[in-house]
Structure 1
Amino acid sequence: MKKLVLLTAMILCFFMVHAQPGQDVEMADALRSSGKIYVVVGTIVIVFAGLAFYLFRIDRRLRKIEKEK
């Protein structure tokens, strides 16, 4: 029963998202036309890569500590 309710909710959310009309985002158009969108995307990629590196490093340290105990 729970799976059916969850599936129904997911399908309804899917249809609600696709039912919205296409909207032009002025900020994205301005960034794209001036070429600054690549700076924004690059910054986001660098931040996520840094977070991933940090989390993997912490994971290795925790594994080492767990093995010692």
Structure 2
Amino acid sequence: MNMLSYVASVVLQVPDKGPEMATLMRSNGKIYVVVAVIVVIWLGVLLYLISIDRKLSQLEKAEKEKNRTRQTPTSVV
């Protein structure tokens, strides 16, 4: 019961003020810089994943071709 009352007291606490840092950054226009940096980072991660996927697909295709040529019997004349 003690744990439940602790969790309830933490959840029900109301902060006195809003987030000051976000308000300050928004008023200075720096929030857009933060958003732009985050977008650039995510675009970089996305492009990196796409390039890794393409390289992996090429390796899988090459491995499949390599295995296909090994499995075909060679005819002896």
| TMscore range, shorter length | 0.5 to 0.7
Root-mean-square deviation over aligned CA pairs:
1.8
What TM-score do the two structures reach when normalised by structure 2? Answer: 0.60
Match of 1:29 among 23, 26, 29: 23
By relative contact order (CA 8 Å, sep 6+), the higher-ranking structure is 1
Give 1:42's aligned residue. Answer: 36
Match of 2:52 among 38, 53, 58: 58
Q: Percent identity?
A: 47
Q: Which has the larger radius of gyration?
A: 2
Runs of 4+ in 1 over 6 A off after TM superposition: none
For 1:49, the aligned partner's letter is L
Distance 2:31 2:39 in 1: 12
Query: How many residue pairs end up in the alignment?
Result: 52
What TM-score do the two structures reach when normalised by structure 1? Answer: 0.67
Q: Deviations along 1:20-43, whole A, 9 cap, x unmatched?
A: 857611000000000000000000
For residue 66 of structure 1, give the secondary structure of its aligned residue in structure 2. Answer: helix
Q: Deviations along 1:35-60, whole A, 9 cap, x unmatched?
A: 00000000000000000000000000
